[in-house]
Amino acid sequence: MVLAIISVLIPAILIAYGTYWRRSQSRRRNADWDSIVGRLRSNNEFNFDQIAERYLYSEGLKVPASDIWNRIDGANGLWAMFTNAGVLMELADYAAEHGENIPEQLIEELRSDAMHIRMAVMVALVRYGFSRSGVAASVNAHRAATAYSAMLAHITTLFQEHSTLYFPRFLESM
């Protein structure tokens, strides 16, 4: 009896997830610029503009790792970076689809940056969740902020050099 329920339940869950995934991919492909940009969280909402050196034009942070956690409002800032990493990747995909002569290497750098951000954020949140210590999470928060800084610099380069039509609108959203 239990085996029969499991043999029906697992395929049903897989089919439901597959349907959800296909719909979300379709929605993502059909999204326009304004709907993607509308999901971005402003960098000054979680004080990233205060911890990064010229955060759209160059990589690097101007505060030590021990101060990152408090300056970005802890888990809230990390989650904003996590969310923005996905949205920025969608913007890069949109620009690649509608732009001209965008090198695949730049898109792959952005994908790598997004993955680094998301991994560092998840590790930092898990460490914070288990220890409730900002110190334990600070190292990974610093890694996430460094990767986020690199991603912002790379995506700014993409829009400046290869998709100038979207560059002013990108700056407004950040």
Rg (CA), the chain: 19
| Residue-range definition of the domain harbouring residue 59 | 33-173
> Strands, DSSP E only, in 37-93?
none
Weakest mean pLDDT among 1-10, 21-30, 43-52: 21-30
Same domain membership, residue 82 and residue 104: yes
SS3 61: strand
Asked whether 60 and 152 are in contact (CB, 8 A), the reply is no
Query: What is the tally of structural domains in the chain?
Result: 2
Weakest mean pLDDT among 100-104, 144-148, 166-170: 166-170
Amino acid identity at 44: N
Distance CA 160, CA 43 (A): 19
Give me the residues paired with residue 61 across strands. Answer: 52
Same domain membership, residue 94 and residue 51: yes
Give me the residues paired with residue 52 across strands. Answer: 61
Asked whether 75 and 125 are in contact (CB, 8 A), the reply is yes
Q: What's the pTM?
A: 0.79
Most confident of the following: 17-31, 106-120, 134-148, 151-165: 106-120
Phi, psi for 132 (deg, rounded to 5): 55, 30
Question: What confidence tens digit (pLDDT) does each residue in 87-138 have?
Answer: 988 888 888 887 777 888 888 888 888 998 999 899 888 888 887 776 777 8
Same domain membership, residue 59 and residue 20: no
| Two tokens, residue 40 | 């971005």
